[in-house]
């Protein structure tokens, strides 16, 4: 019986190609597309703890917070309008990633990135100058549109550009930018919150224009991927580009396989409907479950609400923001570890190790908070060592996420879909991710208020389920060329029943040498 998650027999293909300076620079620039997403994640939580911001836009929350000072700490921030502010963006991102699917497929990955940058810029501008709640919400919807486009196109771009042996590391550049964006936003919040006159929040929100400009300019100078060029009929240019990217002349085999994948892709008129075919069942399952599980790790409870959470467990406003900076640094550092390890140790190892680590930390944090806050949420005086222990375990949890589900939640979907469904399936990935980011953001404060410390156990339960899922159902994808990925399903103990030999004549998705009318170009 094929192994649970091992690599199958493979096609034995080893395309020549180096980690050229050209591909490195290209991928670094493209990965910066993650900055806009990260900046936003990091900025919104901090801004919503800034008193002048709350007083101006969400007065009732501020009043309640003031009045509640010594009462139930679990419920002080529970407000639907406030969470709507944070989470409106994710609904917009969900919708736009669906539109982005067509743009990415028909017009190329670059153009989607450009739209992403421009929309995000417009949103940041409106937010920086906001005078009323509706301006905040409109701004956030535009930011969301931007993120939908960027998250749909950037991971695909990176996975297509990278030589397959370095695909993991280069793709995780996207997640690294997300974490750097979060950290920069946390640090800025920390300083802007101190500005006398209380308008620092305008700088925090308006500052999003900077990462928006980076991706906008980046998308103008980046080349399109050969896969996408072939898909759009620019065959000769694509071959020249592939030689340049790989730094070798001998790209014939890889090029033939790309062209074959593209021919298959052209036969498909309705990529969405196509996704429902039986042979794409593994892909569809992953496109839905990977982002779902990523969000059900509970990471965004920490990312959005770290300052709120830390002030809930008794930190003063300033040290609450500071603790968010600490978790931000851990997040970046641990992402670098995954860049180092992903193409060496593989995706499954990171997923499983990270899962165990998160599970332990969630149990400890639940126990700590439960012990002190009990169920009435009134802790009395908290000793300093206690706060340190909670922050420490939250940091170890963040590290676990940052070298597993964080980067892999974007990497794995971007590398497992065959070209003909790649763009549509990636949209599903982004949409599901945004839907559950929205859900967690929207219900977290209410859940904290009702489930109390049990909230951490709720997420721990899902971490357990997702780790079991990975163990049994997620095949290893390291070191397999992207257009050859079909083999991993074919040699999988469970998924092999959905994909038949006919679907992947050479073990991969290509049909060139399998004889479906594809000419060597």
- Site for ligand BGC, rule CB under 6 A: 41, 175, 178-179, 182, 294, 299-300, 303, 331, 406, 409-410, 433, 437
Q: How far is the CB of 37 from ligand BGC (least distance, A)?
A: 7
Shortest spacing between CB 327 and ligand BGC, in angstroms? 10
Q: How far is the CB of 236 from ligand BGC (least distance, A)?
A: 37
Start-to-end C-alpha separation, the chain: 38
Of the pair 311, 404, the CB lying nearest ligand BGC is at 404
Question: Whose Cβ is closer to ligand BGC: residue 27's or residue 441's?
Answer: 441
**Shortest Å distance, C-beta 331 to ligand BGC:** 5
* Nearer of residues 299 and 320 to ligand BGC, judged by Cβ: 299
In whole angstroms, the minimum distance from the beta carbon of 435 to ligand BGC comes to 12
* Shortest distance (Å) from residue 391 CB to ligand BGC: 17
- Treating both helix axes as pointing N-terminal to C-terminal, what angle do 405-416 and 167-192 enclose, rounded to 10 degrees? 140
- Could you tell me the smallest distance in angstroms from the CB atom of residue 215 to ligand BGC? 16
Residue closest to 440 by CA, chosen among 183, 76, 86: 86
Say how many C-beta atoms besides its own lie within 10 A of residue 51's C-beta: 14
Nearer to ligand BGC (CB atom), residue 182 or residue 258: 182
Q: Are 107 and 231 in contact (CB under 8 A)?
A: no
Least Å from the CB of residue 421 to ligand BGC: 21
Distance CA 305, CA 321 (A): 10
Percent helix / strand / coil, the chain, rounded to 5: 75, 0, 25
Residue closer to ligand BGC by CB (options 205, 260) is 205
CA–CA dist 48, 105 (Å, integer): 38
Q: Rank residues 43 and 509 by Cβ distance to ligand BGC and give the closer one.
A: 43
**Which residues, 6 or more positions from 119, have their beta carbon under 8 angstroms from its beta carbon?**
96, 142, 143, 145, 146, 149
Contacts of 193 (CB under 8 A, 6+ apart): 46, 49, 50, 200, 201, 317, 318, 321
Residue 459 or 495: the one with the smaller Cβ distance to ligand BGC is 459
> To the nearest whole angstrom, how small is the minimum distance from the Cβ of residue 393 to ligand BGC?
17
Q: Which is nearer to ligand BGC, 259 or 339 (CB)?
A: 339
Give how far the C-alpha of residue 134 lies from the chain's centroid of Cα atoms, to the nearest Å: 27
Residue pair 466/293 in contact (Cβ under 8 Å)? The answer is yes
Please say whether the dihedral angle defined by the alpha carbons of residues 78, 81, 85 and 90, taken in this order, is positive or negative: positive
Residue 247 — left, alpha, or beta (φ > 0 → left; ψ -120 to 50 → alpha)? left
Considering the complex, what minimum distance in angstroms separates the CB of residue 433 from ligand BGC?
6
CB-nearer residue toward ligand BGC: 265 or 335:
335
C-alpha 336, offset from chain centre: 15
CB of 481 to ligand BGC, least distance (A): 25
Alpha helices in 299-346 (DSSP H): 299-312, 317-345
3-state secondary structure of 150: helix
Using alpha carbons, list the distances in angstroms from residue 388 to 70, 366, 372, 391, 427. 22, 15, 14, 5, 40
CA distance 94 to 141: 11
Please enumerate in sequence order all residues whose Cβ is within 8 A of that of 36, keeping only pairs 6 or more positions apart, or say none: 116, 117, 120, 143, 146, 147, 150, 181, 208, 211, 212, 215
Closer residue to ligand BGC in complex, CB, 185/205? 185
Instruction: Give min distance, CB of 430 to ligand BGC, in A.
Output: 9
In angstroms, give the least distance from the CB of 304 to ligand BGC.
8
Q: Name the H helices within 108-132.
A: 109-128
Cα 297 to the chain's mean position, in Å? 13
Q: What angle do CA 4, 8, 12 make, to 5 degrees?
A: 165
Rounded-to-integer distance, Cα 292 and Cα 276, Å = 19
Distance CA 223, CA 241 (A): 8
Nearer Cβ to ligand BGC (242/299):
299
Say whether 275 sits in a helix, a strand or coil: coil
The smaller minimum CB distance to ligand BGC, of residues 174 and 489, is found at 174
Which of 303, 445 has the CB closer to ligand BGC? 303
The DSSP output letter for 483 is G
């Amino acid at each position: 019986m094929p192994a649970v998650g091992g690599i199958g027999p493979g096609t034995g293909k080893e395309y020549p190609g180096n980690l050229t300076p050209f591909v490195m620079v290209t991928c670094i620039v493209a990965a910066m597309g993650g900055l806009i997403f990260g900046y936003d994640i990091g900025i919104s939580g901090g801004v919503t703890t800034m008193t002048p911001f709350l007083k101006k836009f969400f007065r009732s929350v501020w009043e309640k917070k003031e009045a509640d000072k010594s009462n139930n700490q679990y419920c002080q921030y529970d407000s639907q309008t406030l969470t709507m502010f944070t989470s409106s963006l994710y609904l917009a991102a969900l919708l736009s990633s669906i539109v982005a699917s067509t743009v990415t497929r028909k017009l190329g990955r670059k153009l989607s990135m450009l739209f992403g940058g421009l929309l995000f810029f417009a949103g940041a501008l409106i937010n920086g100058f906001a005078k009323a709640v509706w301006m905040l919400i409109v701004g956030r919807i535009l930011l969301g549109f931007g993120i939908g486009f960027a998250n749909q196109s950037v991971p695909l771009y990176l996975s297509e550009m990278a030589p397959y042996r370095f695909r993991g590391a280069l793709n995780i550049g996207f997640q690294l930018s997300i974490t750097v964006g979060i950290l920069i936003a946390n640090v800025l919040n920390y300083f802007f919150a101190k500005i006398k006159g209380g308008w620092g929040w305008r700088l925090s929100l308006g500052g999003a224009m900077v990462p928006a400009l980076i991706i906008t300019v980046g998308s103008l100078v980046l080349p399109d991927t050969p896969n996408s060029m072939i898909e759009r009929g620019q065959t000769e240019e694509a071959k020249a580009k592939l030689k340049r990217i790989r730094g070798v002349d001998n790209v014939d085999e890889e090029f033939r396989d790309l062209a074959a994948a593209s021919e298959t892709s052209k036969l498909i008129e309705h990529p969405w409907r196509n996704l429902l075919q039986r042979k794409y069942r593994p892909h569809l399952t992953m496109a839905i479950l990977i982002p779902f599980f990523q969000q059900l790790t509970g990471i965004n409870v920490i990312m959005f609400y770290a300052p709120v959470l830390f002030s809930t467990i008794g930190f003063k406003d300033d040290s609450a923001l500071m603790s968010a900076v600490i978790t931000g640094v851990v997040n970046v550092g641990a992402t670098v570890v995954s860049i180092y390890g992903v193409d060496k140790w593989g995706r499954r190892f990171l997923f499983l190790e990270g899962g165990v680590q998160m599970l332990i930390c969630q149990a400890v944090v639940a126990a700590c908070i439960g012990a002190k806050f009990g169920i009435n949420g009134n802790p009395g005086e908290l000793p300093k060592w206690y706060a340190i222990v909670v922050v420490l375990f939250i940091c170890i949890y963040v590290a676990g996420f940052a070298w597993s589900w964080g980067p892999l939640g974007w990497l794995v979907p971007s590398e497992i879909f065959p070209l003909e469904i790649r763009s549509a399936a990636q949209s599903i990935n982004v949409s599901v991710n945004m839907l559950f980011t929205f859900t967690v953001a929207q219900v977290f404060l209410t859940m904290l208020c009702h489930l109390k410390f049990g909230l951490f156990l709720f997420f721990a339960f899902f971490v357990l389920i997702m780790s079991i899922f990975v163990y049994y159902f997620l095949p290893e994808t390291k070191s397999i060329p992207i257009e050859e990925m079909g083999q991993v399903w074919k040699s999988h103990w469970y998924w092999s029943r959905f994909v038949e030999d006919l679907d992947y004549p050479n073990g991969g998705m290509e049909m060139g040498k399998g004889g479906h009318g594809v000419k060597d170009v």
